[in-house]
Amino acid sequence: MRVALFTETFLPKVDGIVTVTCLLLDHLAQRGIETLIIAPRLGAIDAYGRTRVLTVPAVTFPLYPELKLGPSNLTVYQTLKAYQPDVTHFIHPLMTGISGMWMAKRLRIPTLASFHLDVARMARHYRVGFLEPLTRWLTRTVFNAADFALAPSRLVLREMQALGVRRVGLWGRGVDADKFHPRHRSLSMRAELSGGNPDDVILLYVGRLSTEKQIEQLRPVLENVPGTRLALVGDGPARRDLQTHFANTPTTFMGYLRGERLAQAYASADVFVFPSALETFGLVVTEAMAAGLPVVASRVGGVTDVVQEGRTGYTFAVNDVPALIDGVARIAADRAVLAQMGQDARAFAETQTWPAMMDTVIEHYQRLAQRRA
């Protein structure tokens, strides 16, 4: 089987969409499925493993400066026609994907579209809410144009159905429970995260430092829950403002961490905190759970699919800072409770395997390819 994938973001950028895309490409390669990926040009990359990467010229997207958009061009059409894929998969089609879907339709290649970015809520968050009706219409139109659509969580699935997307199923997210594991706990990393105060309760955030993540809401937690410290892993456009906001608080900015150091950071903290306002799933939540951390997170994306209230953590409505403080306080008050919740979080994460999630996508590929035949 051959699959052509269109995405609006790819390496060298690092984010949740790129992570899922690379994991999917790895899994397809293991299953003997040939792949081609088409993406905006973000850097000098022409291959990922055995996958050829075809890039198109792109410009910066004003609502999301780290995202660059560009339409598929004649080279993409000719390549797609020569490649003759059995299925085309569109990773949240915007510009590269929408034009690519038109090409696939013209070539009579089955189309699968997966939801990864809530553009409507993004417009509202960045105070251009007048664009929200347009983005909702575009989402409904584009995902209905595909032969089938996939949502990353039950919450998003319901929202897509309410929006009017007719043919939509669930493609959940997994976690590498071996890569993210409590055994990576490190005393030196714990000292680094805590600024030399390892006996305190270490709150950990991992992800992009940007306004939609609402990281500033964690300062009231530090001010109201004694003995807590915060470690922020990641980088992004809001870092400078956040450093000013968290001045004179027990907060450590760790920057980007990868590989072993990232695994150590997860395993060496105590509680994972995630106050994001915009999320389609939130891969970092299950990564933290796999490392043995209870979670206190806003009810966005897939959070309610994975966090069991009162057992593996607590959830709260977006912007409900008192509930965020209460959730952290409940866990931090008793080390025995913290430890038990961490064990339960780890046990749940072990059931969320990537291979099973990715095989679901392959089943959709096969179904669409057979329908074409």
Is the pLDDT at 60 greater than 90, yes or no? no
Is the pLDDT at 82 greater than 80, yes or no? yes
Tokens read off for 7: 């995405």
Count of C-beta atoms within a 10 Å radius of residue 188? 10
Domains of the chain with CATH codes: 2-174+353-372 (3.40.50.2000), 182-349 (3.40.50.2000)
| Euclidean distance between CA atoms 330 and 135, whole angstroms | 39
Burial class (CB in 10 A: 0-12, 13-18, 19+), 102: middle
- Residue 22 — pLDDT band, cuts 50, 70, 90? very high
pTM over 0.95: no
pLDDT in tens, 295-347: 999 999 899 999 999 999 999 999 999 999 999 999 999 999 999 999 999 99
Is the pLDDT at 127 greater than 80, yes or no? no
In whole angstroms, what separates CA 55 from the centre of its chain? 22
pLDDT for the residue 129: 65
Average pLDDT over residues 41-54: 91
pLDDT for the residue 134: 86
